[in-house]
Amino acid sequence: MTRSPARLIARYALSALLIGFASCSYAGKQNDTLVYASDNEVENISPYHNTLREGVIISSLAWDRLIYRDPKTGEYKPQLAASWQWESPLVLTLHLRKGVKFHNGDDFSADDVVYTFTKIAGDNTASVMPQSVNWIKKTEKIDDYTIKLHLEKPFPAALEYLSGPTPILPAKYFEQVKLAGFSKAPIGTGPYKITKVTPAQGISMEKNPDYFKDSPGGQPKIGKLQFVVIRDPETRLAQLMTGQVDWIWRVPADQMSSLAMMPNITVKSGETMRIGFLALNTHAGGPGGEPFKDLRVRQAVNYAINRKAMVDNLVGGGSQPVYSACFSAQTACDASKVIKYEYDPEKAKQLLAQAGYPDGFDTDIWAYRERDYAEAIIGDLRKVGIRARLHYVQYTVLSADLISGKAPMAVRTWGSYSINDASAFVTPYFGGKGDDIWKDAEVTGLLSKADETLDPQQRSARYADLLGRISAQAYLAPLFSYSTNYAFTADLNFDSWPDELPRFALASWK
């Protein structure tokens, strides 16, 4: 029998009183140490070699970008680049900031930008996010503090990408230690420096005393940060209440009201640009995969899922049903030609019968987080005759099994790497590489044309065609926008943002 959230919280509150906050606390304002916990481990801390949200958070703390996007205004400001100008639609010149040092004391220069974009990121490297820079044809060093980016084709989202998934790594140090050494002892130019990496446990950081004074993000205020991996949600909650942890997220919606009544804890929630979706594998093998080659089956899955019920009963906090392959507020996310697959189980059954499955079929579904969401989807599918067995695995296993064709269906999420442009969602899954399990030539062609269109209205129109094609083929079953629920010590000043990036460098103690 499932225990109620209120009873769980009451039980842990009593435990906290019995243990005593002071006796077990190693976190918090008194020690100037913010301990934040999550359920996922970053297997490789290098920002170009993981795609987990936890990796994005750490990346924002330890590494700077050439350009900074103000989270309040959306304005692009100088960070490692002191200024920039477009020489033509295909050439961007950036003048780099002088006097910036990496955490080991090495000077930052143009060599680091060239090395990062050509040796660490992009195609033909070990990067898991080659689309971060593969819109750049050549990174040219003009002098020690000037570079020119020569683009493959016009790319209107260039400044957005330079402010997001393109942190600058140290050329000299990386060349010495290689990726294996860098993942154990990484350095950057960011507001916090990483002091310890403990596999399967967490990462320790401390304020960078030499962080450059003109950073648009300001100076960090909290002395030490510690990221800890706690996979069990009840344990994360218990440690927050006993003061061993200061900040947690992805708190179940049904626990938020009870937590809000606790005087030592603050809660926040809101819609984010992260989208949950079902990937429907058209190239999966075996009896459970064969049905998904039929468009009518994929459409049936879309009609079978009660998105509104999931939003209302599971996600909450501002979440909305989603039907397109991007977040509504992202630039060029034009859903005008997207099919809105409303909940219609009878229509789903009709489509399954037309496809030759009047009694449904047995299959498998993969998931790596929010098991209760996956179980709700399984329940909806079962109502129309699709009997799915859950495989609850690590993210890397899920991704590999989709690519190999072993997984016919998987629950995925994507936060667009906090990039406020529709290309950040579509390109990783429909760009013809990596996680693109469909390899639809029409889709990749439409994407290529859309992303070289500089006129905003024309680009949105082309994205409308692109998103319409993805929807018509029902390659995905988009589900909902995530609402991230945060709970943290009342001693902390913390703001949440729709891009799902907790900016701990802007946080402070009360």
The owner of tokens 């929010």 is 370
Q: Which residues are 68's β-sheet partners? A: 77
Residue 399, H or E segment: helix 395-404
Output phi, psi for 269, to 5 deg: -155, 160
| Greater pLDDT, 433 or 277 | 277
Task: Report the pLDDT value the prediction gives residue 1, as an integer from 0 to 100.
Answer: 38
Strand, helix or coil at 361?
Answer: strand
453: tokens are 């269109």
Between strands 224-229 and 202-207, the pairing is antiparallel
Torsion angle in degrees (nearest 10) through CA of 322, 326, 330, 334: -80
Report, as an integer, the average pLDDT of 45-65.
94
Task: Report the pLDDT value the prediction gives residue 40, as an integer from 0 to 100.
Answer: 85
CATH top-level class for 272-484? alpha beta
Q: What is the pTM of this model?
A: 0.79
Q: Does the pLDDT at position 142 exceed 70?
A: yes
Query: Domain spanning 27-62+190-264+490-509: which superfamily?
Result: Periplasmic binding protein-like II (3.40.190.10)
Task: Report the pLDDT value the prediction gives residue 253, as an integer from 0 to 100.
Answer: 82
The chain-wide mean pLDDT, for the chain, equals 93
Distance, CA of 22 to CA of 18 (rounded, Å): 11
Q: Does the pLDDT at position 438 exceed 70?
A: yes
Task: Report the pLDDT value the prediction gives residue 345, as an integer from 0 to 100.
Answer: 98
Q: Does the pLDDT at position 14 exceed 60?
A: no
288: tokens are 């459970």
Q: In whole angstroms, how far apart are CA 120 and each of 73, 123, 223?
A: 31, 9, 30
| Greater pLDDT, 12 or 84 | 84
Does domain 64-169 match CATH 3.90.76.10? yes
Q: Does the pLDDT at position 19 exceed 50?
A: no
Domain residue ranges in the chain? 27-62+190-264+490-509, 64-169, 272-484
- Short-list 497, 485, 504, 501, CA closest to 236: 485
Residue 266, H or E segment: strand 265-280
CB hemisphere CA count around 144 (13 angstroms): 6
Q: Does the pLDDT at position 467 exceed 60?
A: yes
Q: Are 129 and 180 in contact (CB under 8 A)?
A: no
Q: Does the pLDDT at position 303 exceed 50?
A: yes
